[in-house]
Amino acid sequence: MAEPPVVLQTTGLTRRFGGLRAVDNVDLRIREGRIHCIIGPNGAGKSTLFNLISGVLPPTAGRVTFGDRDITRKSPQAIARLGLARSFQTPRVFGSMPVLDHVLLASREHPHECTLARAALARVGLNEREQVLAENLAHGEKKRLEMAMALAMRPRLVLLDEPTAGMNAHETDAVATIVREIAAAATVAIIEHDIDFVRGLADDVTVLHKGGVMREGTIAEIEGDDDVRRVYLGDV
């Protein structure tokens, strides 16, 4: 069976901070319609990689291709308009703005419409919180609000940076359900530390170590790799 087409590709992607190579010559392929998890120890360059892909940071070298477009060095706003949405490790919300208004910004609907925005809030379980100010949301709710904003953009690709960070087991299970909802409509790439979460969702896994790609494969292949077990999963 043929592999799905590549929706996003990085070629030789590199980012230096002084003498440190936070991302080092990364070649990554994310395929259409799949859930692609990116794992690795702290400091491996995972969030920096997402920042390079989404235009938050410019690369020192290399290229990012989204569909058939070179998006290297494009602004985050231009990249988002092409259909790439993302969340952040620490949720970026406006404390004094109601939940619904956040999602309306993403959907670009008029306030009297709200069809996409309200549908997105329902899919992440925030439909009864639409008039609550973002500053009054719990941490997990802020994470889900970012996911609703991503959904409302009707993206082709969604990048989720540690969507379960700081959550309990019940909240993590709820996020897994939301990710499957998102994946029904878009390709999803996730940075995640919770290996059980990854095991339950991932079609493809990339392991980063010291800024570079260490291994790629299925979760079974990754967990069976001695080097990965030593560096990230721990010897057993």
Question: Would you state the pLDDT for residue 63?
Answer: 97
Residue 227 is assigned to a structural domain of this protein: yes
**What percentage of the chain has pLDDT greater than the value 90?**
72
pLDDT per residue over 171-227, tens digit each?
A: 899 999 999 989 998 999 999 988 899 999 999 999 999 999 999 999 999 988 888
* Pairwise pLDDT comparison (167 vs 36), residue with the higher score: 36
Query: Within a domain: residue 95?
Result: no
In a domain, 37, yes or no: yes
Domain span including residue 12: 6-90+156-233
- pTM metric for this prediction: 0.91
191 in any annotated domain: yes
Tokens of 169: 């087991």
Contacts for 40 with CB less than 8 Å, ≥ 6 apart: 46, 207, 208, 209, 214, 232
State yes or no: pLDDT of 132 exceeds 50: yes
Is residue 136 in some structural domain?
Answer: no
Q: What is the mean pLDDT of the chain?
A: 92
Question: How do residues 184-197 score in pLDDT, each as one tens digit?
Answer: 989 999 999 888 99
Confidence (pLDDT) at 115: 87
The DSSP H or E segment spanning 7 is strand 6-17
Banded model confidence at residue 109, pLDDT cuts 50, 70, 90: confident
Q: Is residue 165 in some structural domain?
A: yes
- Which segments of the chain does DSSP mark as H helices, in order? 46-53, 76-81, 99-107, 115-123, 139-152, 169-183, 195-201, 219-223, 226-228
Establish if 30 belongs to a structural domain: yes
In a domain, 128, yes or no: no
pLDDT of residue 111: 77
Could you tell me which residues are beta bridge partners of residue 213? 208
**Structural domain tally of the chain?**
1
Per-residue pLDDT band for 14 (boundaries 50, 70, 90) equals: very high
Q: What is the CATH number of the domain that holds 21?
A: 3.40.50.300
